[in-house]
Amino acid sequence: MFSLKKLFGKDERFYDLLEASAQEALISTQLLSRYLQRSQAFTSSADLDEFIQSRRKDKRITQQITEELCKTFITPLEREDIEALSLSLYRIPKIVEKIVERLSIYPGRLPIEGFQRQAALLSEAGEAVVFMVKQLRKGAQLTSVREANERLQHAEGQADKVMLNLLKELYQGPYDAKETMILQELFEMMEKAVDRCRDSGAVVFQIVLKYS
């Protein structure tokens, strides 16, 4: 049945999907924190499956957003903004899955506390992203989005400091050249995950500025 509401993009489908994608991104960061808190060796296929399923679920959401954009004449936000935000959100669980894959095959000594510090900041950044995405449904809530973006920027800044300290500990610690190279790459991937959250927040902030 033909629907003017659907035609003019007045329904909530895109907000629902974007919020679901942001929530899935946050879930992936929380899974990583729990993963790093476990004492057993990181070899459980069940553990890895959690991340794979989270990433696949977010991919399905991203695909659904693309399909809805093709079917909807007028959208509540500009199409390029929806596409940019959808893609940036999907990149979060994608890189988290890659991090866990690398951790699961690394046989050497793992400075677990360092990874846990990074993971905590990553989850903090993920929470800020979820909050910001939810504000889109409410309209141009510039003040609240700006405050959340500042929290996100703070988390990224703290992550940069943690990264520098971890590299210092790594260079001065009891690691051989091979371990140093591998661990440095893993630390940088964790930092990149926080950057992915920052990128999503930047897209939301730009959208809100456009409509405010």
The string of pLDDT tens digits covering residues 54-109 is 999 999 999 999 999 999 888 889 999 999 999 999 999 999 999 999 998 888 88
Q: What pLDDT is stored for residue 45 in this prediction?
A: 53
Out of 5-19, 133-147, 181-195, give the one with best mean pLDDT.
181-195
Type of residue found at 34: R
Is residue 141 within 8 A of residue 208, CB to CB? The reply is: yes
Q: Residue 44 pLDDT > 70, yes or no?
A: no
What pLDDT is stored for residue 73 in this prediction? 84
Residue 141 is predicted with a pLDDT of 78
> Which CATH architecture is the domain 10-211 placed in?
Up-down Bundle (1.20)
pTM of the model: 0.89
CA dihedral 124, 127, 132, 133 (to 10 degrees): 140
What is the torsional sign of CA 202, 204, 210, 212? negative
Residue 75 DSSP SS3: coil
The answer, yes or no, to whether residue 114 has pLDDT greater than 50, is: yes
Domain locations in the chain as residue ranges: 10-211
Q: CB–CB of 203/190 below 8 Å?
A: no
